[in-house]
Amino acid sequence: MDIALFLDFDGTLAEIAPRPDAVQVEPGLVADLERLRDRLGGALAIVTGRPVSVIDGFLAPARLDAAGLHGVERRVGGALSGGGAEDHPALRRQVERLHAESRPLADVLIEDKGASVAVHWRLANAEDAARAEALVKDAAEALGSAYRLQLGKAVGEIVPAQATKAHAIRAFLEQPPYAGRRPVFFGDDRTDEIAFASVNEDGGIAVRVGDGDTVASRRLPDPAAVRALVRMWAEGGRIDPEALPPA
């Protein structure tokens, strides 16, 4: 099967950590990804809410094709486009507001990504978590229709309205080496459901990692299972996403 493989990072290739900078990459994963990319003729990309530069840090020395910030940034064949913070002055004002208003909240983290911002409350107590969620909702509302709010696992992220993983995957599919291949996307969060739906519409295969309601047709239990599959495919095993367990 000629597939174009798209992989989320947090919660899909690597376990989610209490803080975004504390994520650990399993030894051997980078080499497996590079071998699998070569086996797929280059048609492998990371599609993530992280900036591409951060993904490069986790997956060094590899520089894989990637869509960062939910598609605001995109790199194919080494050429990176999009993602400049200077293009988002209204968002920058809300980032400053979020920093100021979250200071009294213990264990609430503001992750400034330049062209987007995420508020994390995984480590916060219930009261502070509720306040953090309210803060990010207020900031998104203040920005209006040019931005949208994505709520995930103990996180709320404000991104440009036109930026989705669905758009990013479809953009990859318009050019070599992805064009003409069947898209396969692995993701783990509510924010990935839009991309699952578009992959389904395009005749591809969506794979949900972990539990939860989903429009994906296939499911794997956790990132360890994804890594084992990547390793098996990289080592020459049959690439058949349709054989994965149903969702």
**Is residue 119 within 8 Å of 109, Cβ to Cβ?**
yes
Active-site annotation holder among 2, 8, 32, 188: 8
Full DSSP string of 117-172: EEEE-TTS-HHHHHHHHHHHHHHHHHHGGGEEEEEETTEEEEEETT--HHHHHHHH
Residue 77 Cα to chain centre, angstroms: 19
Which helix (DSSP H) or strand (DSSP E) does residue 225 occupy? helix 223-234
Residue partners of 21: CB distance under 8 A and separation at least 6: none
Residue partners of 112: CB distance under 8 A and separation at least 6: 95
Residue type, 56: D
Q: Whose CA is closest to 216, among 193, 191, 190?
A: 193
Q: Is 128 a catalytic residue?
A: no
**Is residue 185 within 8 Å of 199, Cβ to Cβ?**
yes
Q: Which residues are catalytic?
A: 8
